[in-house]
Structure 1
Amino acid sequence: MLRPRIPVNQQPTGEIIPTITTLGAVIPHNQAQAHAPCGCQHHAPAPVAPAAPRPAVQLTPGALLLLVGGGTAAVLVVGAVLVSMLLAVAITAGALAIVALVVRSLIASEQKQHRR
């Protein structure tokens, strides 16, 4: 199996993340070290407002016309194929009816000859 080669950080990076106190001063706290209780208030980060949803595909007027033209062409092609299949079935049914009449006529004439 294929496994991604992503390096794994085994130890903390020691990144300093500042927190905001009630007075507005920024006091850095080291995440890797435990600290004594302090007077600052730790707040959860404010939720970020989601961006306005954008449509997955944005169509220009030219692309929209191309899409409508392509859809129309596809419908016409599918319609032509279905009509040709229906015509093929109709021709086959007609040919089969003619063959049935010929075979019936041959059988009837054969029976008349044997009766004589």
Structure 2
Amino acid sequence: MFLPKYPDNPTPAPAHTHTPTDPAPVRRTLPTLHISPAVVAAVVMGGVVLTALLAAVAVSAISVAIAAVVLRSLLREQNRR
């Protein structure tokens, strides 16, 4: 018996083909933002102040650490005598 390799498709072709249409893209724009030079100067000055405070804290922490090492060394030397 001979069977065809690809039998005929018994499903009929669709009577109506739906072709979706793309809606028109909606263009959304952000509102314009006007930044005054005073705002830029305030932000820059705030950054400078915060950076200076961070540097001061770092220098203080290093100074305290060095003082602790020196005192520990002096106390250890005193205990050995």
Q: Same fold (TM over 0.5)?
A: yes
> What's the TM-score, normalizing by structure 2?
0.63
Larger helix fraction of residues: 2
- So what's the TM-score if we normalise by structure 1? 0.45
Are 2:59 and 1:83 aligned? yes
* Corresponding position: 1:74 with 2:53: no
Query: Which structure 2 segments of 5+ residues have no match?
Result: 1-20
The alpha-carbon distance between structure 1 residues 62 and 97, as it changes in their structure 2 partners (threshold 3 A), is same
Aligned-residue RMSD, C-alpha: 2.5
Q: How many residues align?
A: 61
For structure 1, which runs of at least 5 residues remain unmatched after alignment? 1-43, 106-116
Q: Which residue does 1:63 correspond to in 2?
A: 39
Q: CA deviation at 1:85?
A: 0.5
Whose RCO is larger (CA < 8 A, sep 6+)?
Answer: 1
1:8-87 pair list within 5 angstroms: 47-53=24-30, 58-87=34-63
From the CA coordinates, give the structure whose radius of gyration is larger: 1
Return the structure number with greater strand share: 1
Percent identity of equivalent pairs: 15
